[in-house]
């Protein structure tokens, strides 16, 4: 059973701090990893994807991938109250054709 | 520049009725995924389709649920004889190729009364 695990949270950080969201996956065959943000009552919105080991930066967001440890993370610098949402980690499986989602981590950024 | 379009946005059905959820993928996308999200839970994969083919339906309940993606027209997720436990948000996503980033529609919120 392929799984993607996330801490459900909630993770609470003060405004301006770095929020660190973590995710592990069970199948070493997965090759692509995605972070989605979902506001309450809304649909998931893709914010980052990463395919290679290391870091990938986009504005205030940095995705980190460590395939040896089967670990993916998302760092949000200078967190804003508008970043408060549920963050979904997802792994794509070549040959399996479907993307598996974690249950999501709720992030609260306190003003 | 339409994204993934789902309709209806909200659907209310009585127990035993049928629910039909529609999804039109983004232009140029031929891969469609359906997910279900129960209240306060994460997304659960249901089915992956390409035009006229079901590629992976391992997340679909064995009974009452079916999906199609015809050559012309939207993808349809059909739930027969709905029960209260089917109440959820159903999201459709599309991608241009397998194993690449998928973009989501706004979802259909099904309420079974």
Model confidence pLDDT, tens digit, residues B65-78: 999 999 999 999 99
Residues of B in Cβ contact (< 8 Å) with A51: none
Report the chain A residue with the minimal C-alpha distance to residue B47: A98
- Which of B23, B43, B45, B96 to substitute to test the interface with A, most A CBs within 10 Å? B43
Model confidence pLDDT, tens digit, residues A99-108: 788 889 999 9
Would the CB atoms of A103 and B59 count as touching at under 8 Å? no
Q: SS3 for A39?
A: coil
Dist. CA A53–CA A47, nearest whole Å: 18
CA angle B99, A82, B23 (to 5 degrees): 40
Q: Examine residue A10 and say whether the peptide bond preceding it is cis (omega within 30 degrees of 0).
A: yes
Residue stretches of chain B with pLDDT short of 70: 1, 98-99
Would you call A1 an interface residue with chain B, using a CB distance cutoff of 8 Å?
Answer: no
What's the confidence (pLDDT) of residue A97? Answer: 56
Would the CB atoms of A101 and B98 count as touching at under 8 Å? no
State the pLDDT confidence band at A30, using cuts at 50, 70 and 90.
confident
State the pLDDT confidence band at A96, using cuts at 50, 70 and 90.
very low
Model confidence pLDDT, tens digit, residues A36-74: 999 988 999 999 999 899 999 999 999 999 999 999 999
Q: Residue B61 in contact with residue B36, Cβ under 8 Å? A: no
């Amino acid at each position: 059973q392929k799984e993607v695990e996330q801490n459900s949270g909630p993770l609470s950080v003060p405004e301006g701090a770095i929020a660190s969201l973590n995710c592990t996956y069970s199948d070493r065959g997965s090759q692509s990893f995605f972070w989605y943000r979902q506001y309450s009552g809304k649909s998931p919105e893709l914010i980052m994807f990463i395919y290679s080991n290391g870091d990938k930066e986009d504005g205030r967001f940095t995705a980190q991938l460590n395939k040896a440890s089967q670990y993916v993370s998302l760092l949000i610098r200078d967190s804003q109250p508008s970043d408060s949402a549920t963050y979904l980690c997802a792994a794509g499986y070549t040959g399996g054709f479907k993307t598996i989602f974690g249950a999501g981590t709720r992030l609260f950024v306190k003003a | 520049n339409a994204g993934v379009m789902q309709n209806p946005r909200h659907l209310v059905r009585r127990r035993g009725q049928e629910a039909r959820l529609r999804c039109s993928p983004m232009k140029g996308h031929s891969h469609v995924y359906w997910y279900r999200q129960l209240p306060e839970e994460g997304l659960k994969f249901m089915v992956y389709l390409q035009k006229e083919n079901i590629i992976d339906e391992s997340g679909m309940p064995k009974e009452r649920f079916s999906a199609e993606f015809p050559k012309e027209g939207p993808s349809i997720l059909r739930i027969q004889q709905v029960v209260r436990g089917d109440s959820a948000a159903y999201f459709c996503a599309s991608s241009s190729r397998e194993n690449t980033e998928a973009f989501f529609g706004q979802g259909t919120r099904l309420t079974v009364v």
